[in-house]
Structure 1
């Protein structure tokens, strides 16, 4: 069985694209990699259009990234959130944070 993969790309100026699985298997690496890239590049938008699968760990990763941006005095915008992730956020009562 293959491990789920996660990757980052710079989609447009100011935007960082997340793609692949954002799940328990990839969450720790995704958080570390994305946080470092956001700090390094100063991107202000997370484009989730390429996320193919997400679970509660993926949602927690996004919330941690948003919190990290706030501690840095930055505003981070999330775009193209997959419906499954949006539904999970809604059920968890955190949709307004995305």
Structure 2
């Protein structure tokens, strides 16, 4: 996970059951103790599964609890499909099939 310094963080690699714990370690840095909106750029994600989606949902809930805006950009098609199949388009701001 790399920071661009403007509230945007870039994810890369796999977002799967095996790698979610590595990404989870960044949650506090990303979402706690601040007011600036956060964007997670997922352009570098090469593979994802339901564990990755669960992590994204957890981060949205953490952000909501912190009253912090969190958005996901460049959501890979594989993740968008998981979001659609699970009926979570509104939660992720993908109501019209848009990929932020």
| TM-score band w.r.t. shorter chain | 0.7 to 0.9
Give the match for residue 2 of structure 2.
9
Say if 2:26 is the partner of 1:19. Answer: no
Is the helix fraction higher in 1 or 2?
1
> Using the alignment, how far apart are the partners of 1:88 and 1:24 within structure 2?
14
Structure 2: gaps of 5 or more residues: 93-100
Large movers: runs of 4+ above 4 Å = 40-43
Give the match for residue 98 of structure 2.
none
> Using the alignment, how far apart are the partners of 2:2 and 2:19 within structure 1?
16
Q: Which moved more, 1:84-93 or 1:23-32?
A: 23-32
Q: Report Cα offsets for 1:74-94 as digits up to 9, x if no partner.
A: 010111000110001100111
> Post-superposition shift, 1:43?
5.6
> Using the alignment, how far apart are the partners of 1:67 and 1:92 within structure 2?
17
Check 1:53–1:17 CA distance in 2 against 1; reply closer, same or farther (3 A cut). Answer: same
Say if 2:81 is the partner of 1:87. Answer: yes
* TM-score when normalising by structure 2: 0.81
Count of residues in correspondence between the two structures: 90
CA RMSD of aligned residues (A): 1.6
Q: 2:37·2:68 contact (CA, 8 Å) conserved in 1? A: no
Q: Which moved more, 1:15-24 or 1:88-97?
A: 88-97
Q: Which moved more, 1:78-87 or 1:88-97?
A: 88-97
